[in-house]
Amino acid sequence: AVLDYLRVRKGIAEAGDLNRINRQKRMLVAIFDKIKQNGLLPSIPGILDAFDGNMYTNTTLSQTAALAAFAYNVEPDSIGMYSMGGHYKNIFNWNFVLTDQKARVKLIKDIYGVDVEQYKDYTSSAAQARWEKMRAPVIKERAEAALAKVKAKLDADAALPIPTPTPKPTPVPSTEPAPSPSESTEPAPSTSPTPTPTVPDGGSAEGAAAGIRPLSVSNPLLSLIALTGETQYRQYLPDGPVWALYNKAVAECAALGTQESTEELRAANDQLIADVQSLCSTLGIPLSSTYWRVNYETDKSFNEITVDFN
Tens digits of residue pLDDT in 94-130: 778 888 889 999 998 998 899 999 988 888 888 899 9
pLDDT value of position 96: 80
Same domain, 28 and 72: yes
Residues 6+ positions from 221 with CB-CB distance below 8 Å: 159, 160, 232
Whether residues 135 and 265 share a domain: the answer is yes
Q: Can you tell me whether residue 79 is helix, strand or coil?
A: coil
Pair (152, 259) in one structural domain: yes
Give 88-99 pLDDT, tens digit per residue. 888 777 778 888
Cβ neighbourhood burial of 150 (10 Å; 0-12, 13-18, 19+): buried
Q: Which residues contact 130 (CB under 8 A, 6 or more apart)?
A: 121
**Do the domain assignments include residue 231?**
no
Kindly report, residue by residue over 31-63, the tens digit of the pLDDT.
888 888 888 888 887 877 777 667 677 788 788
Task: Indicate whether 66 and 24 sit together in one domain.
Answer: yes
Whether residue 13 is found in the same domain as residue 75 = yes
Does residue 151 sit in the same domain as residue 283? yes
Task: State what percent of residues in the chain have pLDDT above 70.
Answer: 72
Residues 6+ apart with CB under 8 A from 50: none
Instruction: Classify burial at 59, counting beta carbons within 10 Å of its beta carbon; exposed 0-12, middle 13-18, buried 19 or more.
Output: middle
Show Cβ contacts of residue 217 under 8 Å, excluding neighbours closer than 6 positions: 223, 226
- For residue 40, what are the domain limits? 1-81
What pLDDT was estimated at residue 281?
Answer: 97
Residues 6 or more apart whose Cβ sits within 8 Å of residue 226? 213, 214, 215, 217
Domain assignment present for 143: yes
- What pLDDT score was predicted for residue 267? 98
pLDDT confidence band for 200 (50 / 70 / 90): very low
Considering the entire predicted model, what is its pTM?
Answer: 0.59
Residue 107 belongs to some domain of the structure: yes
Q: What's the rounded mean pLDDT across residues 183-200?
A: 53
Would you say 90 and 128 are in contact if contact means Cβ atoms under 8 Å apart?
Answer: no
pLDDT at 208: 39
On whether residue 176 sits in a domain, the answer given is no
Assess whether 137 and 66 both reside in one domain.
no
Q: How confident is the model at residue 215 (pLDDT cuts 50, 70, 90)?
A: very low
Residue 308, in any domain of the structure: no
**Are 272 and 252 within 8 A, CB to CB?**
yes
Identify whether residues 146 and 247 lie together within a single domain.
Answer: yes
Burial (Cβ within 10 Å: 0-12, 13-18, ≥19) of residue 256: buried
The predicted pLDDT at position 49 comes to 76
DSSP tally for the chain: helices H, then strands E = 9, 4
pLDDT at 65: 79
In the prediction, which pLDDT does 188 show? 55
In a domain, 105, yes or no: yes
Residues 151 and 20 in one domain: no
Same domain, 5 and 60: yes
Model confidence at 202, in pLDDT bands (50, 70, 90)?
A: very low
In a domain, 189, yes or no: no
Asked if residue 307 is part of any domain, the answer here is no
Question: Is there a single domain that holds both residue 74 and residue 1?
Answer: yes
Q: Please compute the mean of the pLDDT values over residues 156-160 and round it to a whole number.
A: 94
Cβ atoms < 10 Å from Cβ of 250: 16
DSSP calls for 126-159: HHHHHHHHHHHHHHHHHHHHHHHHHHHHHHHHHT
Per the structure, the count of domains in the chain is 3
